[in-house]
Structure 1
Amino acid sequence: MPDVEIRKILTTVEEVFHEGGPRANVPYRRAAIVAVIANPYAGEYVEDIQPFMEDLKPLGVMMAQRLVEALGGDSSVVEGYGKGAIVGLEGEVEHGALWHAPGGYAMREVLGGSKAIVPSTKKVGGPGTRLDVPVTHTDASYVRSHFDAIEVGLNDAPRAREMAVVLVMTTGARVHDRAGGLAAKDIKGEDGLR
C-alpha cells in the first residue's frame, strides 16, 4: 500500500467551565483531531483490506501525540478517550473499521499503556456528516463520570473517495458529574473494566 494521503487535519479543544451549576476552578477539556485521508478501497469491493491498518499506524500515533499537545503536553491529564471514522460515499463502513486497531493502540501507546477498550463508532456519509464519538475512562470502562461523546465533522469532508478518521481525549469527569457508579479514584486497574 502507498503512504496514507492526508488532505487536511482539524484539531479542536473545548473547555467546559459549567453547565448551569457551580463554576469549575479548572475546566473540563475535550479535544478532537480529525484527519481527512484518501480511501484506497473506495469505488470497488476488495476482499483483503487489512494491510491498510499497518499503513494507518503512524497516522494514529501522530494524531494521538497532537491531541496530548493540544491538551498541554502532559499525557497524565488525559482520563478519557474514543475514536471513530466517517467513510465517504464510495466506501463502505468496513473501511472505517480499519481504524480500530491503529487509532486505539496509538492512543494507548502515547498515554503509557491505558487498559480500557477505546470506544468507537463509524458510519458512511458525505461532506458535512457529523459523528458522535463515544468517550470512556482510559483505565476502566465502568467509570460513569467519564461517559461522554464528542461531536465531530467538517463541512467539506469526507468526499466520496475519502475517510475522516478521528481520535478524541478528555481531561476528566464531566463538569457536573453526579450519576454515581465506580469513581475514578477507586479503579483497580486489573482488567480495563473496573
Structure 2
Amino acid sequence: MPDVEIRKISSVLEEIFHEGGPPANVPPRRAAIIAVIKNPFAGRYVEEIQPFMEDLKPLGLDMAKRLVEMLGGDAGIVEGYGKGAIVGAAGELEHGALWHAPGGYAMREVLGGAKAIVPSAKKVGAAGTRLDVPVTHTDASYVRSHFDSMEVGINDAPRADELALVLVMTTGARVHSRSGGLLAEDITGEDGLR
C-alpha cells in the first residue's frame, strides 16, 4: 500500500463558557484535529482497499495524542469523542470508511481503553465542505448529556484527490445539559452502552 502523504494538519480548540445560561465554573472544551492526506484511490475504482487502514494507524495515534495535549495533556479528563472523514470529489464514500478502525482504536488506546463505540460521520464533498462530527461519552454511549457534535472543515480541503480525516475529543457534557437520561457518574462502563 502507498505511504500516507499528508498535505496539512489543522486543529481547533473551543472553550464553551455558556450558551445563554449561567457561565460554567469549569468551561467544557472541545478539540478537533483534521489531517488532509492524498487519497491513493481517487479517480478510479479499487477493489481491495482494506490494507490502507494499517497505513493509517500511526496517523490516528499521532492525531489522538495531539488532541490530548491540546486539552491539557491528561487523558483522564477526556469524556467524549467522535471521528469523521470528508472525501474529495474524485473519491468514494467507502474511502472515508477506511478511517473507522484507525481513528477509533487510536483514541481508545490513547485514552486507556475507552469502552463506547466511537460515533462517526462521513461524506463526499468539495474543498470547504463542513462536517458535523458526532460525539458521545467515551465509556457509555447512552449518557445523554454528552450527545454533542463539532462542526469542522478547512477552506481548501479536501481537494478532489484528498481525504480530510477528523478526530474530536471533549472534556465533558454540553455546557447547560439538563435533558435527563443516564448520568455520567452512574455508568458502569462495562459494555460501552450504559
Q: How many residues align?
A: 194
Identity %: 81
The CA deviation at 1:121 is 0.5
Q: Secondary structure at the match of 1:56?
A: helix
Tell me, which stretches of 5 or more residues in structure 1 are unaligned? none
Using the TM superposition, give the Cα deviation of residue 25 of structure 1 relative to its aligned residue in structure 2, in angstroms.
1.4
| Corresponding residue SS for 2:52 | helix
Aligned to 1:145, what secondary structure does the other structure show?
helix
Distance (Å, rounded) in 1 between the aligned partners of 2:111 and 2:168: 13
Distance 1:3 1:169 in 2: 26
* 2:141 alignment counterpart: 141
- Between the aligned partners of 1:26 and 1:190, the Cα distance in structure 2 is 28
Residues 109-146 of structure 1 show CA distances to partners (whole Å, capped at 9, x for unaligned) of 00000000000000000100000000000000000000
- State how far apart, in whole Å, the 2-side matches of 1:160 and 1:131 are: 16
Tell me the secondary structure at the aligned position of residue 55 of structure 1.
helix
Q: Which residue of 2 aligns with 1:40?
A: 40
Unaligned residue ranges in structure 2 (runs of 5+): none
Q: Which residue identity is paired with 1:20?
A: G
* In structure 1, C-alpha distance between the alignment counterparts of 2:54 and 2:188, rounded to whole Å: 32
User: Match of 2:158?
Assistant: 158
Give the C-alpha shift of residue 3 in structure 1: 1.6
* Partner residue in 2 for 1:75: 75
**Structure-1-length-normalised TM-score:** 0.99
Q: 1:8 matched to which residue of 2?
A: 8
Aligned to 2:169: 169
TM-score by length of 2: 0.99
CA distance in 2, matches of 1:55, 1:32: 21
* RMSD, aligned α-carbons: 0.4
Q: What are the residue-to-residue correspondences of 1:4-153 with 2, within 5 Å? A: 4-153=4-153
